Structure 1
Amino acid sequence: MMNRRWVLDHYPQGAATKDIWRLEDAPIPDLQPGQILVKTRWLSLDPYMRGRIAPGANYTAGVAPGDVMQGGGMGEVIASAHPGWKVGDLAESMEMGWQTHAVLSPDLPGAKATNRVPEDIPPQAALSWLGMPGLTAYVGLTEIGRPLPGETVVVSAASGAVGQLVGQIAKLMGARVVAIAGSDEKLSYCEELGFDIAISHRDPEMAEKLAKACPEGVDVFWDNTGGVIHDTVLAQLATRARVVVCGRIAVVDKPAGEDIGLRSSARLIVTRARVEGLVVFDWWHKRTEAIRHLQQWHAAGHIRYREDVLEGFERMPEAFLRMMSGANIGKQLVKI
């Protein structure tokens, strides 16, 4: 039995293209004590992956040419040298990588750990609303954004894997939610989720419509995009606003130094706003708490979500480019 895997062929120059990865076969190593062999069923596509294929420094080690592409996934245990895992168990791990088979060490700490997939959910949910995107939304709002009842929360990329959950959790916390998205279909989806107002970032009057939607300013800004949206919202912050910088997908392919953005320091002084970057891996100790709340909200019908699914392992680069271009609605997944 061989392992099919996508490895990084070379770093992209500007936007990623399909040819930066190559598909290859490799033998599966023998299991060491404490390890399990997992056959992949689902793989996750997430914007953080773009930073992993850049040669520059990031908050964690990236992918070097010749390495298996990093990423989370879930699958079925087909061999075990770990006393707590048996053949047939379903496992989720951020260490899965773009490969058909993964040798995992369940007892690694924090985000490197392998987790059991709860039995009462579709297994791919462990990669979306009950996985890393759900944890991101939960900790970003409860620990950083902290919206109060009646406050206004603005979410960019509001129909995406994280944004759709941020808006729904903010509503559960009693906030008004203004969604920013890029197509009529995405805006309609945000309205279906119960967000109060949905504004297109392609609208030339976006700033004016945002000001009308937030007459007392923006109390919490969840920034998934950077770029023009970031600048527009920062210009409309309320006093003591909180800005959660979660993603930069609008500018990640631009040359280093090009994304300077609004010279916002004066505005931050006036509003006494707080801007904080969010890396979910710093908050993995909150995973159990987040899962408990997310499961309760979902069971009560308060959490809805969409998945954008491509089928076939060979389509991993296609799915990545689809996500980066914003063509997906909801969580981008590949079913193996």
Structure 2
Amino acid sequence: MSKTIILKQRPDGKPKTSDFEIIKEGLPSIETGEILLKAKYVSVDPYLRGRMRNEKSYIEPFKINEPIASTVVAEVVESKNDKFSDGDFLTGMLDWKEYQVHTGENLRKINGDNISLSAYLGVLGLTGLTAYFGLKKIGEPKEGETLLVSGAAGAVGSIVGQIGKIKGLRVIGIAGSDEKVTLLKEQLGFDAAINYNTTDDMAAAIKKHAPDGIDVYFDNVGSYTLDAAMENINRFGRVINCGAISLYNETDRPTGPRLETTLVKKSVKMQGFIVRNFEKDFPEGIQQLSTWLKEGKLKHEETIVEGFETIPQAFINLFDGKNKGKMLVKIY
């Protein structure tokens, strides 16, 4: 038998385990040109929440009573495709299934000999590429500048900050606990970090650590944190809108300060993006991230939960900040 996780109903506000359903199916068989895959690691990501809404976006929404999909590392357990052999490891966008049939199209072979397979869903996957291209292409960092990162102990933020240090920036992170603040400063090399849960005035806290202002802000959170960062942005500053996890479960349209005057007066660039915008440059990004990883310049923090049935709860835990680095589910 094989298990599949489907979207049972669209979440109202923060997702609940009852929004998902685990169903059992017979083990699928393959035909010529196909491969049978067994999931090894499943990535859970905040952006998946947007796909659970029935609204137009840059990617189609999930359908009710059909499987959820995300990036997965899977093993070929049977192959009738000349391009793949039993025992190969592949990664790409796959359904939340223990076993599934695939042609192998748009999947990438990976090697777990010198680095853990899980890294291909984090620092060497879309997570790392999001950090790399967002900072490089939109942030345009220059040595000596100050970089502020929200969601800094998360999957993308933790890599952004480390790349900032490699590029010679002063890096300040915002996270949700003293434990995460310690992680950022003592293990990942951030110059300073702020616990937003014990900070009454975020704008003042940012100013304390960046008295000369912020040159680049990598935003994974949105809302009040973005407002506070904009109060400290320098002339010709760059704001990278990667995510807004604080708003993903809101049911009402959020309101906030108007940023137009700041953008104009300080000639600030603010740009949103999705990592697929830079798809043609992915080989360059993977090569550079791999090099930094081998040189010991990058660490990849992971929170690994075990068991296929835990995938929905692991996803929900993202919205409570229960992850340090990349949140993954390991399948037995």
How far is the alpha carbon of 1:21 from its aligned partner?
A: 0.4
User: Cα 1:28–1:52, aligned 2, differ >3 Å: closer, same or farther?
Assistant: farther
Shift in CA distance, 238/24, structure 1 to aligned 2, threshold 3 Å: same
Residue matched to 1:114? 107
Task: Give 1:134 deviation, angstroms.
Answer: 0.5
Write the mapping of 1:1-336 to structure 2, written as runs, cut at 5 A: 2-94=1-93, 96-107=94-105, 113-118=106-111, 119-192=113-186, 193-202=188-197, 203-258=199-254, 260-336=255-331
SS at match of 1:72: strand
Structure 1 stretches of 4+ with a deviation exceeding 4 A read: none
Q: CA deviation at 1:135?
A: 0.6
What displacement does 1:35 show?
Answer: 3.0
Counterpart-to-counterpart distance in 2, 1:8 and 1:152: 42
Residue range with higher mean Cα deviation, 21-30 or 290-299 = 21-30
Aligned mates of 1:32, 1:219 — CA distance in 2: 55
Where 2:55 maps in the other structure, the secondary structure is coil
Change (3 A) 1:239 1:105: farther
TM-score, normalized by length of structure 2? 0.95
Pairwise CA distance, 1:235: 1.8
| Mapped contact 1:3–1:28 kept (Cα < 8 A) | yes
Question: 1: distance between equivalents of 2:82 and 2:190?
Answer: 46
User: Is 2:203–2:231's contact at 8 Å kept on the other side of the alignment?
Assistant: no
Give the secondary-structure state (helix, strand or coil) at the position aligned to 1:250: helix
User: Is the 1:316–1:334 contact (alpha carbons within 8 Å) kept by the matching residues of 2?
Assistant: yes
Q: Is the 8 A contact 2:28 2:99 kept in 1?
A: no
- Hey, what's the Cα distance between the residues in 1 that align with 2:274 and 2:27? 32
Is this contact kept in 1: 2:28–2:100, CA < 8 A?
Answer: no
Which one-letter code corresponds to 1:230 in the other structure? L
Q: Any idea what the Cα deviations from partners look like across 1:27-60, whole Å, max 9, x if unmatched? A: 4554355432210111111111111111122210
1:256 is displaced (CA, Å) by 4.5
Letter in 1 for 2:103: S
Match of 1:110 in 2: none
**Preserved CA contact (<8 Å) 2:29 2:36:** no
The normalised TM-score by structure 1 is 0.94
Q: Distance in 2 between matches of 1:49 and 1:276?
A: 21
Q: Deviations over 1:268-320 (max 9, x none)?
A: 00111111112112222222111111111111110012111111111111101
State the alpha-carbon separation in 2 of the partners of residues 139 and 33 from structure 1: 38
Q: Tell me if structure 2 keeps the 8 A contact 1:200–1:206.
A: no
Q: Aligned partners of 1:138, 1:35: CA distance in 2, in Å?
A: 34
**Which segment is superposed worse, 23-32 or 267-276?**
23-32
Alpha carbons 1:235, 1:264 under 8 Å: kept: no
CA contact (8 A) 1:219 1:240 kept: yes
- What residue ranges of structure 1 are gaps of 5+ in the alignment? 108-112
Conserved in 2, the CA contact under 8 Å of 1:104 and 1:114? no
Contact 2:12–2:251 at 8 Å: present in 1 too? Answer: no
Percent identity reads 35
Contact 1:76 1:90 in 2 (8 A): yes
- Counterpart-to-counterpart distance in 2, 1:230 and 1:243: 9
CA distance in 2, matches of 1:127, 1:104: 19
Question: Any stretches of 5+ residues in structure 2 without a counterpart?
Answer: none
Instruction: Determine the C-alpha separation between the residues in 1 that align with 2:229 and 2:22.
Output: 42
The structural deviation recorded for 1:215 is 2.0
Paired residues in the alignment total 328
